[in-house]
Amino acid sequence: EDWQFDFPVMYGSGRMGFMEDTLDKGNASLAAKTGDLRPLFDAIVKHIPGPPIKANAPLQLQVANIDHNDFVGRMGIGRIFAGSIKQNQSVVVVSGPNGVPHKGRVLQLHRFAGLGREEVKEAKAGDIVVVTGLEQVHISDTICEAEFPNALPPIPIDEPTIKMTFGVNTSPIAGIDGKPLQSRDLRSRLERESHRNVAMRFADTDQPDVFEVSGRGVLHLSVLIEDMRREGSELQVGPPRVIYKHDAKGNRLEPIELAVVDVPDASASKVMNLMLSRRGQCTVMEVKGTFQHLEFSIPSRGLLGLRNAMLSATQGEATLNTMFLEYGPYRGDIERRINGAIISQGSGEVIAFGLFNLQDRGRFFVDVGEPLYEGQVVGENAKDTDMVVNLNKEKKLTNIRSSGADEAIRITPPHKMSLEEALEYIKEDELVEITPKAIRIRKTLLTENERKRVGRAAGA
């Protein structure tokens, strides 16, 4: 819109710590190495309207986020839309216009100051505060005066669309890289996360050491996994699965998301083919200079592995942003990974001789000297079937040459996956093992005999 071009321009340097409202003043401050950021702050106050507040009305504080502390418990974070709030004040928490008020008392009150928080006795309309002492508070709840329980319109919260299993690490080399979690430790960690992460939910399964965790997407859950990994924990997770729903007639519904892609003209056709192969439907196509702006409605299933595939197809020039739209009719099957897995036959370390002789069978995920175990997925087969290999094979001594002869062999560098890549790569019969030092892919059933027995039973 034309009105969007009517904005003030500031001149300065964030690194040098100065800002001016004219180019001449900016050049002068740059030459003299003087000045500060006050002109920028003054411009923000002048041109950006403040939040609408009702200073003299009864208290209305809407909770927009939740935090948790082991010492003070649950904390509600939100902005005061009306009135004021004090420490030790008796309040009520109302969930929505028709919610039942719950009584409580404000134990502590903090206000944000820079990157930290400072305790205050009182906060007024317009302030963003942290309230402790209200254990029953949730996102979108309204904290009101006990005499005036008037709730604000609730904040919509996206429902989980993806689920995966979190389990205790059962690999043969568990505990070498980090701290293997027991089932009670894993449950406790997920409970703590659910206090502050309202979009994450977890539930028990028929296995005592495995939990089903739901979230808004693979990226949402991978952040939790990465946090646990940095804490020094080990765990194993299953492949992401979409959460389906059913309408009144019993038809299956799946989450549909809006995917916005900006891509150079030369790569637009590749993006189009990629999205259509994943049941995406193009809704907007606009030319913006040398780029094309594309919008698609696509099932959440189609987003699994899409980002990396799109970057590869466009040489990293495409940008992708997604947002949940709605639950819509199921759009049919989507073909995922075609290639089979290369599976380790034994345990030990990767030997250069064994790896060199198998390089033409596919691409490998492991390097020489890395530990491995039976059932670990060490690579991707060039064919569509799984293949069991022996990477522990050593060159044997003969009568005419030693076992160390001809050691100058070339090993192709392994393909190392990020956490998100590994989660999007695995099939239903595979798991991702996460440790502080490594990300490995493994079969759920480690031995070849177990996999064959289950395969025969499934085909019977």
Domain boundary among 215, 242, 269: 242
pLDDT recorded at residue 408: 65
Q: Are residues 215 and 228 in the same domain?
A: yes
In this structure, the answer to whether residues 141 and 75 fall within a common structural domain is yes
* Residue closest to 68 by CA, chosen among 254, 157, 174, 194: 194
Whether 353 and 446 share a structural domain: yes
Q: How far apart are the first and last CA of the chain?
A: 64
Q: What CA–CA distance (Å, rounded) separates 393 from 403?
A: 12
412 occurs within a structural domain: yes
Domain span at residue 27 reads 2-47
**Helix, coil or strand: residue 188:** helix
| Residue 400 confidence (pLDDT) | 56
Q: Which of these three, 193, 224, 242, is where a domain ends? A: 242
Per-residue model confidence (pLDDT) at position 457: 83
Question: Quick check: is 151 in a domain?
Answer: no
| Together in a domain, 224 and 260 | no
Residues 376 and 436 in one domain: yes
Q: Is 352 helix (H, G, I), strand (E, B) or coil?
A: helix
**Residues 259 and 275 sit within 8 Å (Cβ to Cβ):** yes
The span from the CA of 271 to the CA of 283, in Å, is: 14
Residue 418's nearest CA partner among 311, 277, 274 is 311
Where residue 171 sits, what CATH number does that domain have? 3.30.70.870
Residue whose tokens read 């209200």: 134
Residue 121 within any structural domain of the chain: yes
The identity of residue 14, as a single letter, is: G
C-alpha to C-alpha distance for 261 and 294, rounded to whole angstroms: 5
352 and 277 in one domain?
no
- What three-state secondary structure class fits 372? strand
- 48-55 CB contacts, 8 Å cutoff, 24+ apart: 50/126, 51/79, 51/81, 51/126, 52/81, 53/80, 53/81, 53/82, 53/125, 53/126, 54/81, 54/82, 54/83, 54/125, 55/82, 55/83, 55/84, 55/124, 55/125
Residue 274 lies in a domain: yes
3-state helix, strand, coil in the chain (%, to 5): 20, 35, 45
Note the pLDDT of residue 218.
Answer: 87
Residue type present at position 307: R
73 and 34 both lie in a single domain: no
Residue 379 lies in a domain: yes
pTM of the full structure: 0.76
Q: In the structure encoding, which two tokens stand for residue 394, read together?
A: 């050593």
At residue 404, the pLDDT reads: 52
Say yes or no: 309 and 376 in one domain. Answer: no
105 and 90, same structural domain?
A: yes
Looking at the structure, tell me whether residues 199 and 234 fall in a common domain: yes
Other residues' Cβ atoms within 10 Å of the Cβ of residue 126: 14
159 found inside a domain: no
Domain of 322, CATH number, reads 3.30.70.240
Say whether both 266 and 237 belong to one domain.
no
Residue 114: predicted pLDDT: 80
pLDDT (tens digit per residue) in 42-53? 999 888 888 788
133-167 as b/e: b if 16+ CB within 10 A: bbeebebbbbbbbeeebebbeeeeeeebbbbbbbb
Domain boundary (309, 329, 349) is at: 329
* Inside any domain, residue 158: no
In this predicted structure, what is the pLDDT of residue 37? 87
Bridge-based pairing of strands 341-344 and 387-389 is: parallel
Task: Kindly state whether residues 446 and 349 are assigned to the same domain.
Answer: yes
pLDDT beneath 70, residues of the chain = 1, 396-408, 459-460
CATH classification of the domain holding 67: 2.40.30.10
In a domain, 150, yes or no: no
**Number of domains within the chain:** 5
